[in-house]
Structure 1
């Protein structure tokens, strides 16, 4: 089906910014969300922190060339008419309701997250599809400069291991899959081999072999970031030369 494009007015000019497009290829409405970690840098897109987006609709906006620590994800089954906040959506909800709070609105797991740092170390754009917070929708990150695809194109809900499965929609269908970290499967959250905390807080002491259900996420979505130190896989974190000034598209249900 042909996409419907919605152009959003922004103050950032195209001469000093990139074009980001969020495309909803899912056959249902989603509520995309955007968050910038202001503790890292103050450079923010002139774009709301959340909006409603119908099926097969595309939303484009400008993002600063040096956007740092940015996150884009989608929320499912939202109703903001009462109790607007993190529990207003079945998954991925955030503080603030429809528009996520700019300081605390990072999103409630499980949620598939697109992560970006533009003009990062080595003057590279760094980006990934993260499953560290679990999964709620298939996602891909593409660009117009031929840099590597980052994606999780598989619906991880139906075959999700039982201890991780959920939440569920009204029909009983699983619309999320938590990681062992977010499911709280370790006895001590302060010393958690699945969350890489305590004595497991380095790549050497938190190998993927010690992360419960790592293979389920990485095996199905090899081009994704599957746990806190997944860079060692070589297929988790991707780069694109910042001199190329790539534009990026985040697609849900690619």
Structure 2
């Protein structure tokens, strides 16, 4: 800068540099998430953040239409907490918009899920994240705790572990859990034993880990009906409330790696 430059111009330039640096820092603290529909049919992905756990929310709609073999990418705050993404099947929002607009996975709010109550109707395969937690890790998992409705996989760009359920669990789903069914009679879901209410009392159930079964000690996987069907087919998924003891349910990635994540529905067989 020349000595003849007016002082006020110098101040504005310095301020602009500061603003640019702050903007770059904010951008670097965000992650990029990509959601890819690898299915040969349209799905309606949905996203929910538990606002009781954290206030940071992704820079994207809470629900959208994804045609076959299409993807979207968006930014997610580095401190996104208790977030989940899933897909809805066989939706029609023109009539009865809300949780019953889709054959499974529907949410309050219609196409875009309500930010406070739009958690999704089981059965639904969930992808879950909490980023940059207090111990310095990202935590993520593929959860079948609410049952299954599509094969899914979580991958990343920094070499951290794969979380997935790459198998279509619908056709061979145990009869008491199978459904719902589409217009051709094909099962587009497989309920959890809890959601199917096999024990008859969801408030005190070994399948739901509720009531007197609400601790890891009183709710072992051996007491959850059809646990082995889900875990044997999808060993890298979170199958019931206390499945962390399996060692292949909940995955971590050092937050310092600033991983970007890709969620694929209907991933190629692993």
**Bin of the TM-score, shorter chain as denominator length:** over 0.9
Counterpart selection for 1:190 from 189, 203, 206: 203
Q: Considering only CA atoms, is the larger Rg found in Structure 1 or Structure 2? A: 2
Query: Structure 1 CA distance, aligned partners of 2:200 and 2:184?
Result: 32
Report how far residue 189 of structure 1 moved.
1.6
1:240 aligns with 2:253: yes
Count of paired positions: 243
- Offset of residue 178 of structure 1: 0.2
- 1:71 counterpart SS class: strand
Residue 208 of structure 1 pairs with residue 209 of structure 2: no
Aligned equivalent of 1:62: 75
- The answer to whether structure 1 residue 252 and structure 2 residue 265 are counterparts is yes
Match of 2:21 in 1: none
Deviations 1:183-226 (A, max 9, x none): 01112221100000011000010000000000000000000000
Q: CA deviation at 1:13?
A: 5.6
Q: CA offsets, 1:156-183, max 9 Å, x none?
A: 0000000000000111000000010010
Runs of 5+ unmatched residues, structure 2:
1-24
Q: TM-score, normalised by structure 2?
A: 0.89
Give the alignment of 1:32-111 within 5 angstroms: 32-111=45-124
1:158 aligns with 2:154: no
Q: Which residue of 1 aligns with 2:148?
A: 135
Is the CA contact (8 Å cut-off) linking 1:13 and 1:62 kept in structure 2? no
Q: Tell me, in whole angstroms, the C-alpha distance in 1 between the residues paired with 2:259 and 2:193.
A: 34
Per-residue deviation at 1:88? 0.2
Moved more, 234-243 or 182-191: 182-191
- Aligned residues of 1:193 and 1:206 also touching (Cα < 8 A): yes
- The Cα offsets for residues 51-73 of structure 1, whole Å up to 9 and x where unpaired, read as 00111101000000000000000
In the aligned structure 2, how far is the partner of 1:91 from the partner of 1:140? Answer: 19
Q: Which has the higher strand share?
A: 1
Give me the whole-angstrom Cα distance separating, in 1, the residues matched to 2:67 and 2:226. 33
Per-residue deviation, 1:95 = 0.2
Give, in whole Å, the separation in 1 of the partners of 2:262 and 2:50: 20
Match of 1:115 among 104, 117, 128: 128
Equivalent position of 1:5 in the other structure: none
1:177 aligns with 2:179: no
What are structure 1's unaligned runs of at least 5 residues?
1-11
Aligned match of 2:233: 220
Give the number of the structure whose residues are more often helix, by fraction. 2
- Work out the CA distance in 2 between the residues paired with 1:158 and 1:182: 18
Displaced runs of 4 or more, over 2 A: none
